Structure 1
Amino acid sequence: MVPFPDLDRAVEGADVVVALTSSARAVVEPRHLAAGGTVLGLGGGAEISAGVLTVADRFFVDDPGYAGVTGSVAAWLADGLPSDTLHTRLTGGLPAVAAGMLPGRTAPSQRILAVVQGLAARDVALATLALNRLDIR
């Protein structure tokens, strides 16, 4: 990993942006989710702007019930995003993607937003799955 003083420079050209913060304000904005890219939110703060949900073509969470308790999804709801809008935008659960029951991406240019707020064991399992599928060693 290489530290960057500026998020725009850090994510330039990135296929995957992983946000893991305790920030009380959004740091990942719609411009950070490029065509064909993925934003993965793992933190307990309000790290991802609700605008990212607006530009995402597909939106996944690990646990729909718990996603509204902490992290970005909870912040969106607290800021007035209607829960109906959230549920309408939700493509499905990450466990279904990991099990191969639901495709994560159906077209190369799709913008994917995934928020993982559940158990730490899921975080580790999903990270391992992502590394294996991306063939990163």
Structure 2
Amino acid sequence: MSTDPAAPRAGPVVTVEAYENCPVTGLLRRIGDKWSPAVIRLLAVRGHGFNELDRAIEGISRRMLTRTLRGLEEAGLVARATSGPPWAGTEYSLTEAGRSLREQLLALGLWADAHRSSLVRPAGPRGPRGSA
């Protein structure tokens, strides 16, 4: 590293704009929350109604399930379909994009399982300060 004040300065390697426009960053923001992986995992098997999902995911509130499903729907990963009378309910299923993501998440899960012992575990909800 040069200490010469006249030396040209290198710009940032990752700019805020590049970070904000990164498709991986956007995807991880959408599916990296607490509940989205569980919803995707269940819908990867078959379509589910809202109440089925609510019963199948321990600890999720109905409000949070609604928010999670809406977010996944807005991201184009989940489709919502109503058929028959209003009391028949709504069924949620993965879209084509959601189904193709399923394979990638499976590969990521296998990688994470293989490297579980070497991955740093956070000390709390946010992890230790200054850890990289």
TM-score (norm 1): 0.28
Q: More relative contact order in 1 or in 2 (CA 8 Å, sep 6+)?
A: 1
| Higher strand proportion | 1
Which has the greater radius of gyration?
A: 2
